[in-house]
Amino acid sequence: MALTKNTILSHKEIEHKIKRIAYQIYESNANETELVIAGIESNGFILAKKIKSNLDKISSIECTLCKVTIDKVEPTNPIKTSMSKEDYTNKSIVLIDDVLNSGSTLIYGIKHFLDVPLKQFKTAVLVNRNHKKYPVKADYKGISLSTSLFEHVHVNLSKQPYEAYLD
């Protein structure tokens, strides 16, 4: 049986979801002067850059971009960030990834940032899959899907037109 590719978000829809997530982040942080936008490498970081770009257009909050490198196969390996712990201590952080699948990448990313005191911590994903292995949720999400364990969500943000599809 051949695998089929079902588009779940078109380029235009992805752009709209990114803008909506940026507005939600702004609304939740309207009283903040500074915000750390942390994107999980690779698609999560691309998404974080796009959200930051939208935030820069709609708000006066100073947004700092942080790249988070996690071994997705072995998430217990040391996590690297482009910012030192001192740079995000007592700040508000939004951790961003493209797809919330099992939850392991996001939960280990959250754990890393909890080594220091934070003002506020939220998570954002473009696609939230409703069956997870870990008790983690996305505070901001573009779309939620109920998928089978055999289906896989792919997100292309590296070249235009962007798309998200299920196979």
Whole-angstrom distance, CA of residue 75 vs CA of residue 83: 19
| Predicted pLDDT of residue 149 | 66
Confidence of residue 167 (pLDDT cuts 50, 70, 90): confident
Kind and range of the H or E run holding 124: strand 120-129
Place of tokens 């983690």: 136
Whole-angstrom distance, CA of residue 11 vs CA of residue 20: 14
Query: Tell me: the pLDDT tens digits for 90-135?
Result: 999 999 999 998 889 999 999 999 999 999 999 999 999 877 788 8
Place of tokens 């069956």: 131
| Predicted pLDDT of residue 66 | 98
Q: Which one has a higher pLDDT value, 145 or 119? A: 119
Query: Tell me: the pLDDT tens digits for 1-36?
Result: 445 678 899 999 999 999 999 999 999 999 999 999
| Predicted pLDDT of residue 59 | 96
| Predicted pLDDT of residue 129 | 87
Cα Rg of the chain (Å, integer): 16
| Predicted pLDDT of residue 159 | 87
Place of tokens 């008790």: 135
- Between the alpha carbon of residue 64 and those of residues 75, 83, 87, 153, the distances in Å are 24, 9, 10, 29
Q: In this model, does residue 151 exceed pLDDT 80? A: no
8 A C-beta contact, residue 157 and residue 43: yes
| Predicted pLDDT of residue 153 | 85
| Predicted pLDDT of residue 1 | 42
163-166 vs 92-100, strand pairing mode: unpaired
8 A C-beta contact, residue 93 and residue 110: no
Question: ∠12-13-16 over CA atoms, to 5°?
Answer: 90
Q: In this model, does residue 164 exceed pLDDT 80? A: yes
- Percent of the chain predicted with pLDDT > 90: 72
**Joined tokens for residue 57:** 């257009």
Which whole number is the average pLDDT over 48-67?
97
